[in-house]
């Protein structure tokens, strides 16, 4: 009889009994509604063991990759340790040391962090960078685990932003910080290697896209990968040389810098980045779409990507939201 473990407790789970029913029987409160795997309100994560495939039916590939499952239709045939989504979101901190700081443009600082303990993450996810109990900020990961030795963050200086001011003005190589995570669904997953990937970002929204593109190429993705990065003028762009070099070396990768201001020099598209991306790509049927950056851009692009044929389950959005002055900054 399989054993179900939750926290420090464990119980045998009967044949045909679901994880949800077992936990409710033991007095463990688990959010639930339909009990048929449709509403996804009973989503949980397996921290040890593999949930049955039937318990992941209908979930995004990114959720499957992180061992999430639907408790109401999960009937384990082997031992399984599970955690609630709330517990998953509050993982303990990991200490890290700053190993490098590099200005990528006038506003964006590349921060290189060495974790004191191994961190299992995917390029494009985000971590919380913690200074102390009063100040933390979510930043996306531009690094690729199999390629980069340390974590790479792109931190944009925000007017009156406490966290970005700390990073740009006070943080130095050798300083210790704490990180929490990783979290987020905005990352590449193996699947249809021929599927087109459309990556659209503004500002430091390039960070996760830069990681996702390199991760996909490293994993042998053969379909077209098109990255569009937008800013008002050239000062807001960065990593242009690296991205152009990547486009020259990888025949299925294409990079388009976009400027929404009044002028666009040769080699740059003029207009709003999501308008250009959608116009140049055309139909998005069977494409996977990643949208990162300004909330209004992400919202508009998500709507128009769907109207262009992309399935909602294939649209991954990460809007970068700036907190009001005085609050802890978050993406």
Q: Which residues contact 271 (CB under 8 A, 6 or more apart)?
A: 258, 260
pLDDT of residue 91: 55
The answer as to whether 231 is a domain residue is: yes
Residue 205 shares a structural domain with residue 299: yes
The CATH number linked to 240 is 3.40.50.80
Largest CA distance in the chain: 69
pLDDT of residue 329: 45
The answer as to whether 27 is a domain residue is: yes
The answer as to whether 22 is a domain residue is: yes
Q: Residue 17's domain spans which residues?
A: 3-89
72-124 confidence digits (pLDDT tens): 999 999 999 999 876 655 556 889 999 999 999 999 999 999 999 888 899 99
pTM, two decimal places: 0.77
The CATH number linked to 165 is 2.40.30.10
Could you give the percent of the chain with pLDDT greater than 90?
73
Which of these three, 35, 65, 89, is where a domain ends?
A: 89
The answer as to whether 134 is a domain residue is: yes
The answer as to whether 309 is a domain residue is: yes
Residue 155 shares a structural domain with residue 60: no
Query: In the chain, helix, strand, coil percent, each to 5?
Result: 25, 30, 45
> How does residue 331 score in pLDDT terms, banded at 50, 70 and 90?
very low
Residue 288 shares a structural domain with residue 217: yes
Residue 73 shares a structural domain with residue 18: yes
pLDDT(21) > 60 = yes
Residue 112 shares a structural domain with residue 81: no
135-165 confidence digits (pLDDT tens): 888 899 999 999 999 999 999 998 888 999 9
pLDDT of residue 322: 56
Is residue 258 within 8 Å of residue 265, measured between CB atoms? no
Taken in order 157, 160, 163, 167, the sign of the CA dihedral is: positive
Residue 213 shares a structural domain with residue 313: yes
Structure token pair of residue 328:
């802890």
Crossing angle, helix 295-307 and helix 273-281, to 10 degrees?
A: 20
Which of these three, 47, 63, 89, is where a domain ends?
A: 89
Residue 288 shares a structural domain with residue 220: yes
The CATH number linked to 40 is 3.10.20.30
The answer as to whether 117 is a domain residue is: yes
Nearest Cα to Cα of residue 31 among 22, 44, 45: 44
176-222 confidence digits (pLDDT tens): 999 988 888 899 988 889 999 999 999 999 999 999 999 999 999 99
> How does residue 246 score in pLDDT terms, banded at 50, 70 and 90?
very high
The answer as to whether 189 is a domain residue is: no
Q: Which of 33-42, 188-197, 245-254 has the highest mean pLDDT?
A: 245-254
Residue 143 shares a structural domain with residue 79: no
Which of these three, 73, 89, 105, is where a domain ends?
A: 89
Please count the structural domains in the chain. Answer: 3
Residue 237 shares a structural domain with residue 303: yes
Residue 17 shares a structural domain with residue 101: no
Residue 258 shares a structural domain with residue 212: yes
Rg (CA), the chain: 21
258-304 confidence digits (pLDDT tens): 999 888 889 999 999 999 999 999 999 999 999 999 999 999 999 99
> How does residue 320 score in pLDDT terms, banded at 50, 70 and 90?
confident
The answer as to whether 299 is a domain residue is: yes
Residue 286 shares a structural domain with residue 207: yes
Bridge-based pairing of strands 9-12 and 3-6 is: antiparallel
Is residue 300 within 8 Å of residue 326, measured between CB atoms? no
């Amino acid at each position: 009889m399989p054993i179900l473990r939750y926290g420090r407790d464990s119980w045998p789970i009967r044949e045909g009994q679901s994880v949800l029913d077992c936990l409710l029987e033991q007095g463990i409160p688990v959010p639930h509604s339909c009990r048929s795997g449709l509403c996804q309100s009973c989503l949980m994560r397996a921290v040890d063991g593999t949930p049955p495939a039937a318990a992941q039916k209908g979930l995004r590939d990114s959720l499957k990759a992180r061992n999430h499952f639907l408790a109401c239709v999960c009937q384990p045939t082997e031992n399984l340790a599970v955690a609630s989504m709330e517990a998953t979101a509050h993982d303990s901190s990991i200490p890290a040391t700053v190993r490098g700081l590099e200005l990528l443009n006038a506003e964006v600082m590349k921060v290189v962090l060495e974790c004191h303990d191994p961190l299992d993450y995917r390029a494009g996810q985000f971590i919380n960078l913690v200074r102390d109990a009063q100040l933390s900020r979510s930043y996306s990961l531009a690094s690729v685990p199999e390629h980069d030795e340390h974590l790479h963050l792109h931190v944009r200086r925000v007017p009156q932003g406490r966290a970005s001011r700390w990073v740009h003005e006070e943080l130095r190589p050798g300083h210790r910080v704490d990180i929490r995570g990783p979290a987020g669904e905005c990352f590449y997953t193996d699947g249809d290697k021929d599927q087109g990937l459309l990556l659209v970002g503004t500002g430091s929204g390039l960070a996760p896209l830069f990681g996702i593109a390199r991760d996909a190429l490293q994993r042998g993705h053969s379909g077209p990968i098109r990255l569009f990065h937008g800013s008002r003028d050239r000062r807001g762009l960065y990593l242009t040389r690296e991205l152009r070099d990547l486009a020259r070396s990888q025949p299925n990768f294409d990079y388009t810098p976009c400027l929404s201001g009044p002028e666009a020099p040769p080699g740059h598209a003029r207009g709003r980045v999501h308008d250009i991306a959608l116009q140049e790509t055309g139909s998005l049927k069977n494409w996977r779409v990643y949208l990162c950056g300004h909330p209004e851009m992400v919202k508009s692009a998500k709507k128009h990507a769907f109207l262009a044929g992309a399935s909602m389950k294939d649209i991954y959005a990460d809007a970068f939201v700036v907190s009001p002055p005085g609050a802890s900054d978050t993406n």
